[in-house]
Amino acid sequence: MNYAKKINASPVLYSCCSGYNFYFLNDRRSCEIFHKSKSIVLHVKTKEFFYITPFPDDLNKEAELNYWVELIRKPADLKHYIWPVDVIALTDSSGDIRYALVFPIRALPVFENISTLLANDMQAGWNMPWVQKFIANLLDAWCHFDGSNYAYHEFSVDNMFYQKESFNVMFDFSFSTQKTENLYDTHFVNKKRITPDYADSYFYIDSRKSLMDLASDYYSIAVILFKLMVGRLPYQGKVMEHEPNANELEHKNWLKIYHKNTYFIFDIGDETNHIGGDTGFAKDEMFVDRWNELPEHIRNMFHNVFQTANVLRSADNLIFYSPHEWKEVLF
C-alpha cells in the first residue's frame, strides 16, 4: 500500500490512547450496528476496519479524555456489552476538534430492540416461559457488568437488544458509563440520553441536578423486572389513570407527572395509587392477579424498592438490590 498517496487522499485520525495507532476515515463506507449507520475507519498498520461513534455534545471535552482512556484500558464484560478499543480526535469543517470512540467490527447475530418486549404488557407475567428465559439472560448480563465495577446509567430502549429465538441479551455502549466503587458515587447524566420509563425518579427531582449513581442502576433493574413480571410500570396506577394512545411528546409529558407521583401501585400502607378492585378498569385485574401470583419474598423486594421514601431517597435505610441478589432469589 502506498501510504504517502493514501495520506494525501484522506485525513489521518490520531489515537488519544497510543502513539502507535492512527486511522484513515473511509467516508465511502459505513456499516449498520444495532440498526444504526456507523462510519468506518481503517487502521493504518493492521489494515483492520473499525467503526466510530462521535461523542455527544455534552461530553466533547478534552479535559475528560483521561477518563475515556482509562475506561478503554479497563473493559467490562465483553460477552454482553459493546466496548470501545480506542478514542480518536476528529476535526470538523470549522476546524473544531471533536472526539469519537472506536469499536471493533464484530460478527454478531441479528438483534431486535428490547422495547418490543417491555411494551407487550398483555404477554408479560412471571408464569410466561419466555419471560423467565429472558430475565435469566438479562440478569446474567447485568451480573457480569456489575462485577466490573461500572454503572451503566443508560438503560434506554435504544441501547438494549435481544435475540428472538434464544433471548440472549446485548447492550450497546453507554456514554453515561461510570467507574464506581460506592453505591452512591454520583455522576451527571444528560436527560437526553435517558429513557424516563425506567429511570430513577430521584434523578428527576430539581435538587438532584441530573445526578445518577449505582443505586439508580439497581432501581432501573427493579423497574424492568416489574414491567416484565407484572406488565405495568410501578407507579402507573389510578392517580395516573391509563396512559392514552399518545405520540412520543405526549408520552414524555405523561412521564413527568408519573415521576412526581411515586406511589407504588401495590403499596401496603398507602392506597393512593392502587389498581384493581373499585378502580373501574377491568384490565387492571390481570395485573393484580399476576402480582398476587408472585412469591411473597419477591413481592416484598419490590415493596422495599418502590416505596416512596426509598425511591425519593428520604429514608434512613435505603434498599436497592443488585442483579446478583435478584438472580439468587428468582432462580
The answer to whether residues 155 and 198 touch, using CB atoms and an 8 Å cutoff, is yes
Tell me the C-alpha to C-alpha distance, in Å, between residue 207 and each of 202, 204, 312. 9, 9, 11
- Tell me what pLDDT residue 207 has: 85
Asked whether residue 3 carries a pLDDT value surpassing 50, the answer given is: no
Domain with CATH 1.10.510.10 in the chain: 112-330
Mean pLDDT estimate for the chain: 88
Q: Which range in 27-31, 237-241, 273-277, 311-315 is most confidently predicted, on average pLDDT?
A: 311-315
- Tell me what pLDDT residue 131 has: 95
The answer to whether residues 22 and 14 touch, using CB atoms and an 8 Å cutoff, is yes
- Say if strands 49-54 and 86-91 run parallel, antiparallel, or are unpaired: unpaired
Architecture of domain 112-330 in this structure: Orthogonal Bundle (1.10)
Sign of CA dihedral 147, 149, 150, 153: positive
SS3 for 131-200 is HHHHHHHHHHHHHHHHCCCEECCCCCCCCEEECCCCCCEEECCCCCCEECCCCCCCEECCHHHCCCCCCC
> Burial of 182 by CB count in 10 Å (0-12 exposed, 13-18 middle, 19+ buried)?
exposed
What does the pLDDT average to over 145-174? 90
Which pLDDT tens digit goes with each residue over 204-228? 888 888 899 999 999 999 999 999 9
Bridge partners of residue 150, in order along the sequence:
179
- Tell me what pLDDT residue 93 has: 64
**Domain 3-104 CATH class label:** alpha beta
Which pLDDT tens digit goes with each residue over 280-295? 667 789 999 999 999 9
Which pLDDT tens digit goes with each residue over 123-148? 899 999 999 999 999 999 999 999 88
Asked whether residue 279 carries a pLDDT value surpassing 70, the answer given is: no
Which pLDDT tens digit goes with each residue over 63-79? 788 889 989 988 887 78
Residue 319 CA, chain-centre distance (Å), reads 21
Domain with CATH 3.30.200 in the chain: 3-104
What does the pLDDT average to over 179-207? 89
Asked whether residue 196 carries a pLDDT value surpassing 50, the answer given is: yes
- Please state which of the ranges 75-79, 94-98, 121-125, 241-245 shows the lowest mean pLDDT: 241-245
**Three-class DSSP category at 297:** helix
Could you list the beta-strand ranges (E) of the chain. 12-14, 22-33, 36-43, 49-54, 86-91, 97-104, 112-113, 150-151, 160-162, 169-171, 178-179, 187-188, 211-212
- Please state which of the ranges 208-217, 234-243, 319-328 shows the lowest mean pLDDT: 234-243
Asked whether residue 277 carries a pLDDT value surpassing 90, the answer given is: no
pTM score, two decimals? 0.91
